[in-house]
Structure 1
């Protein structure tokens, strides 16, 4: 199926309520500090407003976005990106106790092995402690290895806790070339109306200043969120794919 056809298909997803789509407390898994704001900032704000704030876990440390910087080496950049996430989630109404960091290496989130198993053990503990019934993960076709790894984590959680509902939110997959083919049958899913929270979502995205080219000045080739992605993320509806 071509990406352009998949995007048309996504637009046909029924609009539904948070309660129907994501029962109970939700665990949001974000590959990097900013994916939580980009892909499901409206979801988070909605859940907070409805009195059941999610638990947000940032999986990687985000330290690889500016590898050429001398003034912002990995440890310093990782610390900054944690603070940006705190400010972003504050803009969405989430309290600090609902935000956690796994601290895995950016661009090297494991897909198997000992470190993967340790991460799953940690996530299962969070699921149990907060009685999570729904887990949000990135879309499997987001073109980034860390997004794929976190999607795999979601599948492992489902295998170990079959009662969990796993939903996927697309980020970078929405920017794939229109003619690119992906190997997947048309999925089912829902759209969540986030128009009420677009200003909060915009504020949350703005909090990730390092990713908007506003902090690191000595790495001209460092990462900057492209306008094309921001346009797709700030839409009236967020997408959630049944996984």
Structure 2
């Protein structure tokens, strides 16, 4: 079984912090939900590979789908294109230290979301270590490295190519090319979109959207996994660097009992 893939043009998304502010989760509750991904979806049995721009992107976008695939006995691989060393521009904390912190946090989060907190997740994680905020510059190299990493899986899921953030879009384009080259089905997950888009927004391919419903157990595990991302959900150095990339109003997008992907 394969799925048609959404293959759009370059994003015309605005800066996700315009003067009128982000679209709130309360606003998004007015959006009609798309059709649900079938519970007995057979393609997962062929293995799931998630290609993500940053260490926690896979968790935020499709952590529930990863949990579901593991529970069904499917092989799961996560390819993290960058280690996220530039999430706090200008910070006194060296990028290498920040990257190591984000990697540790995401490793704990993956173990948590599959029900093995404190242990090793049955998820293979491969890190390409491309410089953060520079994926576009390395896009061709990322494609070449991804092709053998996605080739023997039935399904590839990656960042949406219209998401409004350069690293997300470049990663999505690279995954799209690799999936085309290997004949692997492709789905894409939005992250930044939830900030700049609006319910019924014509820039969003709602007709190609699918809903991944989470069980109560999967949602609870995802909630605990999100709490592992300390560098992203709390001040990096309290009193000195209080920036929070994922404050509560952003985190709310990823605490839902479902996830959204585009075909």
TM range (shorter): 0.7 to 0.9
Deviation at 1:106, TM superposition (A): 1.1
Alignment of 1:33-182 (within 5 A): 33-70=55-92, 72-93=93-114, 95=121, 98-110=124-136, 115-128=138-151, 131-161=152-182, 163-178=183-198
* Gap runs ≥5 in structure 1: none
Deviations 1:55-101 (A, max 9, x none): 0111112111122322x210111111111111111112273660111
C-alpha contact 2:235 2:241 (8 A) present in aligned 1? no
Deviation at 1:184, TM superposition (A): 5.6
Alignment root-mean-square deviation, CA: 2.6
C-alpha contact 1:13 1:188 (8 A) present in aligned 2? no
TM-score (norm 2): 0.78
Distance 2:60 2:199 in 1: 24
Q: Is 1:192 matched with 2:212?
A: yes
TM-score (norm 1): 0.84
User: How many pairs are equivalent?
Assistant: 231
* Gap runs ≥5 in structure 2: 1-12, 14-22, 115-119
Instruction: Give the equivalent residue in structure 1 for 2:254.
Output: 233
| Deviating more after overlay: 25-34 vs 207-216 | 207-216
Which structure is higher in helix share? 1
- TM-aligned CA distance change 1:184 to 1:206, over 3 Å: closer
Distance 1:226 1:182 in 2: 27
